[in-house]
Amino acid sequence: MNAVVWKRSLRGSLLYLFAFPILFNVSSLPELPAQELNGRPLKRAGENQADEKRAEQAAPEVDLGLRSVTLHAAGKGWFEFRGKINGARVFRVEVGEFELDEAIRVSRILDPAAPGEIRMVSSRDPVHPPTTSPNTRTLGDLLVSMKGQRIVATEHSGKKVEGTLVAIEQRTEIVDEQRIEREVMTVLTETGLSSMWVDGFESIDAVDEEFRSRLREALEKEARPAELATHAVEFVFGDGPEREVTIGLMRSVPMWKVSYRIEGDQLIHRSIVENTSGIDWDGVELSLVDGSPVLFTMDLRSVLRARLNQLQRPSRQVAMAPRFSESLGRAYDDLELAGPGIREETIGMDGSMGIMGMDVDLSMGMGMGAGGMGGGMGGGSFGAMPGRASGKGSADLFAGESGYGSSLNQVLNETTDAPAGSTLELQFDSVDLDSGKTALLDTLIDPVSVTDVSVYRQSYHPTATLLCLEIENNTPALLPSGPGSVLAGDQMRSILGEVVLPDLAPSVKRLVGYAMDGGVRVTTHPVETTSEQQSIEIDEKLHRITIRTQHQRSTQYDVLNRSGDDRNVILEVPLPPRPFELQALKDKDIEVEKTDEWHRLRVKIPDGGSREIVTVSKHTADDPNGWGEIAMGTLERWVAEAKWNEAQLETIRSILADRRELEETDRTLEGLLDLRKHLVTELERISNQLTRQRGSSSFPREVIQRYQTELLKQENRLAQCEQRMQEFAIQRRKLVDQLGMDRELPSSLSGLKAFVIDTDLIPEGMSTVLPSETTTPAEQPKDYPFGSDPFGN
């Protein structure tokens, strides 16, 4: 018996070994149902080793060379192997475990002689328990994984203990007041269970040969260097004459990266490609594809079992049928015949619900339009790969002026990026790149227009301009975003700046800045706002004058070029606030281009030259005003300037005359209100004095008669004042109606409401005051607002 022996050199020490992945016996796994890839069956490895040996003898291996590689910027790569074979052959490709899903989903065989098969080692079935490997992390873990094994343990004295390992545990032992953790092993012997200190044995031998074999495999795997797990994908060719075959395989690859280099007026695209496939590239046809596809990942490698609902065994006892309430209420005209306490129910319904559906079969495809072939590592060619849509219903879905199609088309028209499906493809005829290496591949993008311009944006810098590249993509391909360097000088040794080139769609022009321009200065003057009345429109029915006014905003820019070269200067003028609109410039040599946020004014300025550019934005507004709302000064100015036609001026003069008369009437009414207030106060004073004189016997009758005469005179003057107020109130009402104004009295004349009734209800010829002949002239009060008696006394 060959036993495996573990020896301990130190008391209480543990042996640390690293764990290894579980090993599977492929030949012991059951055959899984065959799957298909690209119309061809995907088979698992054979049921047993005999089938594999017969397959290997019948189909020897063949080596096909890697001829074409297509790398997508999304992280997927298409690898094609081509070569000539004779008879039945097997071609194997080692792929990483993380790439198996891609290999299963997208792989194909092109064999003109016979259909081929794609095979790989079967994955573990989850319903079969895996074969466990010994845990070699520590001696204790190893002994735990040996539970149930037959062992032979030899003590230091030479005594042997043979039995079945039952348990391993740690116990605490106190030695000289010190706590020591020791491992105890329990073994089932012929005499019963025995517990012994593990460190008391010199060796522990496993009797089972299968366990010792698994331990040796784990240790051998531990000694190997750390590598990513790989699996072989087998492409099996059928028997046939000599022919050329092709193998296609999708793999997960690193994203190839983009950078640019601008040399003068040339745009050079640099592609950074890493070869992590594990296969050296020797003269392969390399294609680099960029785009934004929708991608996903799915576990296709693992063995999956369907999840089924578990049902209990049916009972032999027949269940009692449920009871249903029945109502015949709708069968009678009198619903009471349905019976008391029974809820009326609907027996049936004869109707249908229409369902709106769409018969749309929209299929998306991508055309692989390729450009010409470039030369070697130093350059390549590019082409566009536009997407296309076809299928029944696609025309109805996207056509029309309204609905989903119009909104989608509007979004596509307004987007600043590339249209959907636009893709760039770079092709290189022959590329040599060893596995684990990185290649830098340059491609001259042509035709692309690259021009130097100086751009002024006040929000970026108040006076300085920014040197920019104006790049226009004249190719049919989308140029992806990436960093770039601007080089100049002898042999392009000087770096002027760096840019971030945005996504550049076909026929799109972009500005990218790379350095400050110290040779061009722009001085901006403050915005000036003016308003000018253009015309008026008089509506005599509505008593309204509509004034049309033109508002104008102007800004002046002074540009000075002292750079030493002629410069193309672009002024980015912000869009004027609504409703202003930029007016056409008088200078015909200035080009104007509108963007989403700016107006770009382009002008060429020679070295040492200067230029004054004035931008004007205008908008016209109509302001309707009532005849009584316009200021008197505005009406007087219109009459003095004689700016409008004679009929309008005549109407304005009439309005002005009514407005002046209305103001004069209002002043008169205000004076009469003050006079009435004074007269009321005087009447109260005289009445009080007369009352006191009548009660006194010391004054003669002539004095009392004089008080009575004065009282009658003041009362007569008060009546005359109120009569004049009635007359002026009627006059004011007529003027207000002629001007189309509101009849509501102003606050200064609010006192009229207390004693002046509505003049429209006063009968003509009716007088409310005493005749003026009975009055006696009196001395005029000094505080009259008119300076004299308004009644002529």
pLDDT in tens, 170-184: 888 888 888 888 888
Q: From 260, 165, 266, 239, select the one nearest 207 (Cα to Cα).
A: 165
pLDDT in tens, 73-90: 888 899 999 999 998 999
pLDDT at 549: 93
pLDDT at 530: 92
603 sits in which H/E element: strand 598-605
- Mean pLDDT, to the nearest integer, of 90-114? 87
- Mean pLDDT, to the nearest integer, of 421-441? 82
Cα(560)–Cα(607) distance, rounded to whole angstroms? 9
**Residue 381: what are its φ and ψ, rounded to 5°?**
-125, 165
Cα(660)–Cα(11) distance, rounded to whole angstroms? 125
Percent of the chain with pLDDT over 90: 20
Comparing 780 with 284, the larger pLDDT belongs to 284
pLDDT at 604: 93
Q: Is the pLDDT of residue 786 over 70?
A: no
Helix, strand or coil, per DSSP, at residue 119: strand
449 CB contacts (<8 Å, ≥6 apart)? 265, 470, 471, 472, 474, 509
Q: From 104, 98, 92, select the one nearest 41 (Cα to Cα).
A: 104
- Mean pLDDT, to the nearest integer, of 110-138? 82
356 CB contacts (<8 Å, ≥6 apart)? none
Q: From 637, 652, 660, 644, select the one nearest 543 (Cα to Cα).
A: 652
Sign of CA dihedral 278, 279, 280, 286: negative
Q: Helical H runs in 399-510?
A: 404-414
DSSP 606-623: -TT-EEEEEEEEEEEEEE
**Residue 597: what are its φ and ψ, rounded to 5°?**
-125, -10
The domain locations on the chain are 1-149+208-253, 525-626, 646-774
Lowest mean pLDDT among 179-193, 332-346, 734-748: 332-346
